[in-house]
Amino acid sequence: MSLKSSLKEINDNKANAAMDLMLGNPDTYNGRSGLKRAATEAVRRGKAQYHKDLLDTMAYIVVTGSGRDQFTELASSETFGCFAGDPEEFFKNIVSRLDQKLFGRETPRNFFNIVSNILEDKMLEIGIVEYNPLTFSDKYNSAVNKPEDLVLLVRNAITDQIGAEIVGINSVSSLVDKAIEKGHDFPVTPVLFSTGDEKFALELRNGLKRKETLKGVFKGLSSKVFLVVVGNASKELKKTQDVILVKTVSDESVGEALSSIRNKIL
């Protein structure tokens, strides 16, 4: 199916799915109830297919540099229509499920055990059944005194051991309702990931990019992955292969960068 057909199934049935059964003739209650059940199932089926189709159309745009926030804000405006995702949302959500009283008291190893249990539930929520379990090592043995410390620790461990693809998969779950509301049915879904951490930006770009690691074995989510560096950044980052450089943020410069991406996709 396509986003267009999935969206049509949702829109064709959402009115009946939202029907108030208490309104109307009591003699036709059973008929209305059956209609509502069928419509609710059709909407659920349509959303599940839309979710799958949305993942297939994703184009990931990792944005870093001093002007990243301005670029992301403008690129996700009505003028350009990109979606904006938080690349740390997955890790922040895991940490938010912990008892805040644990910070400053538990060791990194104990936090790893707690996070591993939460991770299993979180993975199921976004449709992942099999993944590499987290393993503690000395490289993760750093102080965890506040939630932000654990977010960084969890991010590093998951991107190291499971892969940065998790950011892309999670973003689909986060954006699907917004995309449906907007009536998004284009063949490409551009999603912006803004981060001030240059190392994480490269991990995202490399981890999301689909590539063959062994013959017939692929990693990554999409061939449509791009790195945009806006304003000031390290010389090494600006020399990264295929990087798109934007000196200053304006309607014109954002439009040129997105046009360059579009031309690489089409």
72 band by pLDDT with thresholds 50, 70 and 90: very high
- Indicate whether 236 pLDDT > 70: yes
DSSP state of 139: G
Task: For residue 59, list its beta bridge partners.
Answer: 190
Task: For residue 84, list its beta bridge partners.
Answer: 192
> What's the Cα-to-Cα distance from 220 to each of 40, 205, 212, 223, 243, rounded to whole Å?
34, 10, 9, 8, 18
Tens-digit pLDDT profile for residues 87-146? 999 999 999 999 999 998 899 999 999 999 999 999 999 999 889 889 999 999 998 999
Mean pLDDT of the chain: 93
The Cα 41–Cα 10 span in angstroms is 10
pLDDT score at 118: 96
pLDDT score at 220: 83
- The kind and range of the H/E element at 153 are helix 147-161
Residues 159-177, mean pLDDT to the nearest whole number: 94
Residues 230-236, mean pLDDT to the nearest whole number: 94
218 band by pLDDT with thresholds 50, 70 and 90: confident
Would you call 8 helix, strand, or coil by DSSP? helix
pLDDT score at 216: 65
pLDDT score at 213: 73
Instruction: Check if the beta carbon of residue 257 is closer than 8 Å to that of residue 228.
Output: yes
pLDDT score at 84: 97
Q: What percent of the chain has pLDDT over 70?
A: 98
Q: What percent of the chain has pLDDT over 90?
A: 84
The Cα 202–Cα 257 span in angstroms is 18
Can you say how many angstroms the Cα of residue 156 is from the centroid of all Cα atoms in its chain?
17
Can you say how many angstroms the Cα of residue 50 is from the centroid of all Cα atoms in its chain?
15
